[in-house]
């Protein structure tokens, strides 16, 4: 199979060096690719142009600077790795080719990063950074991509206008994450800075959140047929219909505090003209509305970081541990990380203080572009008049989520670690995975009883 790599007319030495590195070539070889065609533009390559063999896997690499057209190269490719120029992206998506986009960080004034992230959110391609290219290739599954619609020039321009113009005009708002101080009762603070905000932005927020994250999708795909689980803080319910390859094999019940998001989640994953009704519940992640061990699994995705104290975050983890089977219950938790990747739109202020030592308490703004506002005076107002909705987040530090999970389990009297086979009647919780992905920390937990 063949990979076509293009950097366009600019100089993108970092991408050229990455795709000719042994790490990336090895990742491509493992995926079944055997040849790389590299259009390097004005980028520097020590070996020069021509056909050569590079890397420990003996991959064939053909390189050149420019051609009048790269259309044929795109047609021949089984995978395209590209800079984030809008023209190249459109050409590749129109031909239905699997695509990995690597924005050039030296050209961020052209907003390549925002366009790549937007199309990644829509599921049409994978966006990554130079440093994460090898890992992205290793986990890339072209079958999960959403086919780009039949070409509609006005639709593509609207997409660029909405994302790019919004980014230019309100760039400061979009990227300015400010420090927050929880100076009132945490419950009241969350009511004002979390729950009220999500009910206001529910529709626009949902339109940007419908591509399942790979690790979460794989977790749900690994569950045995017949299991019943909870999505605690389901939002718009984008995980309720998974796994895609075994629809209906497991039942995930969605719970959220936002009534407006629940109305969207109720029909998550429905096909046009054929609505499907999901099981959703209006509730609070700190509530105790389930009998102990009611579920086989539970997920909490981008929810616990909205709780405004350490004790409340700990209680949320305990509610997850309580609601799953003590014999086999599995839990997956995701939270936002202080450590943001190169594609993140968020710059975390390191001088902000957390509600407890470790993480950082911040406000992350949400702005609804004019194109998405209601018809009337507000919609006709300028982007400068766009309302800013500040959402409270506790950004987790490295190791903080795993520590929180262990503290929560120990607070319930559970043994933290692998099952102890020689002591009958022991209850425990194993930390199966503790990782970082795309500016998020995650942990997978498993309950056990001997």
DSSP secondary structure letters along 257-325? S-HHHHHHHTTTTPBTTB-----EEE--TT---S-TT-BSEEEEES-GGG-SSHHHHHHHHHHHHHHB-
Task: Tell me the per-residue pLDDT of 266-316, one tens digit each, with 9 for 90 and over.
Answer: 998 887 677 889 999 999 999 999 999 999 999 999 999 999 999 999 999
> Which of left, alpha, beta for 51 (phi over 0: left; psi -120 to 50: alpha)?
beta
Q: What is the pTM of this model?
A: 0.65
For residue 91, what pLDDT is reported? 87
Tokens of 446: 């498993």
Phi, psi angle pair for 60, to nearest 5°: -85, 125
**Domains, the chain, ranges and CATH?**
2-159 (3.40.50.2000), 178-449 (3.40.50.150)
Task: Tell me the per-residue pLDDT of 199-217, one tens digit each, with 9 for 90 and over.
Answer: 999 888 887 766 788 899 9
Dist. CA 34–CA 58, nearest whole Å: 8
Of 156, 183, 165, 162, the closest CA to residue 88 belongs to 156
Residue 110 has pLDDT above 90, yes or no: no
Residue 377 has pLDDT above 50, yes or no: no
Kind and range of the H or E run holding 33 = none
> DSSP string spanning 67-132?
-S--HHHHHH-SEEEE---HHHHHHHHHTT--EEE---GGGGGGTHHHHHHHHHHTTSSEE--STT
Contact assessment for residue 83 and residue 10, using Cβ atoms and an 8 Å cutoff: yes
Task: Tell me the per-residue pLDDT of 73-93, one tens digit each, with 9 for 90 and over.
Answer: 999 999 999 999 888 998 899
**What is the pLDDT of the chain when averaged over all its residues?**
85
- Beta-strand pair 228-232/415-416: unpaired
């Amino acid at each position: 199979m063949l990979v076509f790599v293009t950097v366009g007319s600019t100089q993108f030495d970092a991408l050229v060096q990455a795709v000719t590195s042994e790490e990336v070539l090895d990742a491509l070889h493992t995926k079944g690719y055997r040849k790389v065609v590299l259009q390097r533009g004005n980028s520097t390559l020590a070996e020069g142009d021509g056909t050569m063999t590079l890397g420990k896997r003996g991959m064939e690499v053909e390189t050149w600077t420019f051609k009048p057209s790269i259309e044929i190269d795109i047609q021949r490719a089984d995978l395209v790795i590209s800079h984030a120029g809008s023209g190249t992206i459109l050409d590749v998506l129109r031909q239905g080719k699997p695509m990995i986009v690597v924005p050039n960080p030296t050209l961020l004034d052209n907003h390549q990063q925002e366009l790549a992230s937007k199309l990644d959110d829509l599921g049409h391609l994978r966006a990554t950074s130079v440093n994460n290219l090898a890992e992205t290739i290793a986990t890339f599954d072209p079958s999960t991509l959403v086919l780009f619609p039949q070409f509609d020039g006005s639709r593509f321009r609207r997409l660029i206008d909405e994302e790019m113009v919004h980014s230019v005009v309100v760039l400061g708002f979009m990227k300015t994450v400010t420090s927050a101080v929880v100076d009132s009762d945490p419950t009241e603070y969350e009511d004002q800075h979390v729950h009220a905000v999500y009910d206001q932005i529910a529709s626009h927020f949902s339109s940007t959140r419908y591509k399942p994250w790979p690790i979460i999708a794989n977790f749900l795909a690994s569950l045995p047929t017949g299991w019943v689980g909870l999505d605690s803080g389901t939002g718009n319910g984008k995980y309720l219909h998974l796994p895609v390859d075994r629809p209906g094999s497991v039942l995930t019940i969605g719970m959220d505090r936002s009534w407006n998001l629940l109305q969207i989640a109720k029909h998550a994953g429905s096909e046009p003209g054929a609505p499907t009704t999901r099981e959703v519940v209006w509730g609070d992640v700190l509530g105790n509305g389930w009998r102990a061990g009611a579920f086989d699994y539970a997920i909490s995705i981008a929810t616990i970081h909205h709780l405004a104290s350490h004790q409340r975050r700990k209680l949320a983890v305990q509610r997850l541990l309580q609601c799953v089977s003590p014999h086999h219950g599995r839990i997956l938790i995701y939270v936002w990380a202080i450590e943001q990747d190169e594609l993140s739109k968020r710059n975390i202020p390191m001088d902000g203080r957390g509600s407890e030592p470790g993480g950082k308490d911040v406000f992350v703004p949400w702005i609804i572009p004019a194109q998405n506002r209601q018809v009337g005076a507000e919609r006709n107002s300028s982007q400068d008049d766009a309302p800013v909705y500040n959402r409270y987040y506790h950004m987790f530090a490295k190791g903080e989520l795993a520590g929180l999970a262990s503290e929560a389990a120990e607070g319930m009297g559970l043994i933290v670690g692998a099952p102890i086979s020689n002591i009958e009647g022991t209850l425990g919780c194993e930390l199966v995975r503790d990782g970082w992905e795309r500016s998020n920390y995650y942990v997978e937990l498993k309950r056990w009883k001997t």
